[in-house]
Every structure is written in C-alpha cells, then in structure tokens.
Homo-oligomer: A and B are copies of this chain.
C-alpha cells in the first residue's frame, strides 16, 4: 500500500479525492498495489463526505509523516504552494501538481530539488488539463529534436472567439455567456488577457527546449481587442481567429515565445478546434507535426491527469522520471521575433481617401487583398511575409490613423 496526501479540496482537489477513493479498485489494478488517500489538507470544513475523516488543517502533519510517499498539490497560486511543495520534495516525497502558475514560476528550481532528493515532480495536468501532452512529448518523441510547439491552450478564450465566429456574438456578450456557463471566472483577466496560456507555453517551451522560460519573457496579448469586424475579415481571407500560444527554436540557440490572437488558416487542423477544447501541436524533426486534442479544463478531466501522475509516482517510488530543464537566462527569449511572417493589419482613419493612398504607397503589392470599409474609414489587409519589425516600421509611417496587427499562420 502507498499513502498519498492531497493538498487542496477545490474543484480539482475534490475530483482527485473522488477518483482515488471511489475508483480505488481501478487504481490498485493499474499499479498493482493499493493507493490510499491518507490526508486531505484544506482550511475549510467538509462535513458529511464519505471521506470527511481524512481532512487536516496542518501542513506539518503531511510533511512529517514518513508513510506519505506522494503528495498532490492542487491548491493553486504560487504561495504557499511553492513552500509546501519544496518542503515535501526535500523530505523525500514525490509531488504532482496541476498548478501551472507554480510550475511556470518555479519549475526549474523544484525539478532540481526533486533530482537532488531522488523523488519525482510531475505536472501533466498543468498544461491541457486532461489531454496527455507533456509525457508523450518527453517520452514518445524523445528521438526527436522538437523545433516548435503551438497550440490553443485556453478553453475560455477559445469558447469566446468561437461564439464570435459562429454566432456573430460580440466580445462582451460572449464573455458574459462564458461566465454564465462557468467557463470563465468572475474576474476573467487571467484568461482573456492571455496570462493562463502564457504560463502553459512557458512550461511547454521549458520541456521542449530544456531551459526555463519565465512568463514575463513571453510576449503576451489577450483577445479583448478582437472585434466582430476582425472575425468577419479573417473569414473573408479564409482564416479564423484563435488565441495561439507558440514557441519556436531559432538557429542562434534562442527561442521565440508568444501568446497572440492569430489568424489561423482553415487548412490548419488548429482552426477546427472549437468551443472549450484545447489542442497542442508539437513539431519534431522526425515525426513532423503531431497534435494532441481534448478538453483542456474541467474537474474530472484535470483530476484524472493528476491521478495519472500520482499513479506514475507510485510506480516509480525508487526511480526518477527523466523530466528535466535548467534555469532560464535573461536574453534567452528573442524579443525581436526575427522570422518572416504575414501580418493582418486593420487601419482606421477619419479621412478614408487619404489613408487608402497612404497604405497603397507603403504596401503596393497587397492592394488586391484590401478589404475596404469606406464608411467605417477602415482598410484591412494581410501583408506579404516579412520581418515583423519591417512591417511595423512601415506602419509607423502612417499618419492620422490608428491601426492594429494580428499574427497570421498558414494559408
């Protein structure tokens, strides 16, 4: 029998407890030993559950119980999760977590501590919820050099954009609906501003390329500026707008990493990821593009990924899983985005005729693809592939107007 402790009894934590306790036989069969939930740490009271006797309020009980070999951290947030996880690892306990904020902030350090103490630190549920991504990337693609990872990593924003695309709903209405359905928090900032996706791409980049990427190094842009007009224009060009998190290895050893609303060509499989679903595309030099798709959130899906990690720790009490990266560096993430790409440009002005002339002069080759909305004083187009800094420099020459740009993939 192996004893485990669960820290946190929120949405995911209660899911983990329920799976381990209600499906005890299934779990035991999977690892050929009994898996016993010994403690559940939560400051709140949970009376009337079949397992109410397992609740404790003092972390030290878990820390000092040598019978507890595996701890699941499902509290969320960096503090006190970081201190708790660190101490558990130092005390020879394997830890699994669904906490993307923690892993994105402290992953390299916690992996190092796990290594030093010959225990495991696993976090499959931190990216893609119930979708297997991290383990297959590390294990099944280990003969590959991974060159790029890109995906739809946030279900809330994908739901909102999907409603705008399919039902012509504007951003605020779609957000409200997402909140009503429980897909978006009351304070939706972390989702709609891209922070959640940013943490996940940090973890994917670290695993893919072996070096920690900190959230503040990632160019992160949310979806709050996307209008129905953008959605319609994208459709006319053969694209859909998705919030794409992406990281790519550059030839100079640096990487790029970004979270940006992006026009995705309808040919690309990511354009067909709808509703709250997530998908992660991994490009390896041997396998080419591989995509993992499924529910990126939700109590049961996320909890089942945490449980899979717990079971993996139970099977590997004496062995180390090879899941590794080192600390990051200041200039590791290239802020210049030096790869040629198309950009979607939307320019608005009070003087339509003037702005049309200005754009024609700067981007003569694009004229055939202009979408003109004379009455709105707006011109929308997709540029030829160029370095983003070049396109941006041209746009800065425009006078008496406002503009925005979006990344373009495929097509």
Contacts and interface: CB of A to CB of B under 8 A. Distances in A.
Nearest to A125: B140
Interface string A397-410: 00000000000000
Contacts of A287: 130-131, 294-295, 300-301, 304-305
A54 interface: no
A190 interface: no
Nearest to A291: B293
A181 interface: no
Interface string A290-330: 11111100101101110110011001000100100000000
A399 to B, nearest CB: 44
Contacts of A305: 140, 143, 287
Interface in A262-304: 269, 272-273, 284, 286-295, 298, 300-301, 303-304
B292 A141 contact: no
* Chain A interface residue number, banded: 35 or more
B293 A288 contact: no
A301 B289 contact: no
Contacts of A293: 269, 290-293
A186 interface: no
Contacts of A286: 19, 130, 300-301, 303-304
B308 A139 contact: yes
B284 A304 contact: yes
B272 A288 contact: no
Contacts of A269: 272-273, 293
Given A124-B140, A293-B293, A322 B32 contact: yes
Contacts of A301: 286-288
A362 interface: no
In the complex, which of the residues A31, A286, A311, A312 has the most CB atoms of chain B within 10 Å of its own CB atom?
A286
A23 B290 CA distance: 21
A131 to B, nearest CB: 6
A143 B19 contact: yes
Contacts of A23: 143
A295 B322 CA distance: 26
Interface string A101-145: 000000000000000000000001000001110011001111111
Contacts of A312: 139
Interface of A: 19, 23, 26-27, 30-32, 124, 130-132, 135-136, 139-145, 269, 272-273, 284, 286-295, 298, 300-301, 303-305, 307-308, 311-312, 315, 319, 322
14 contacts: A19-B143, A30-B322, A31-B322, A32-B322, A132-B132, A132-B140, A142-B311, A143-B303, A286-B303, A287-B294, A287-B295, A287-B305, A291-B293, A292-B292
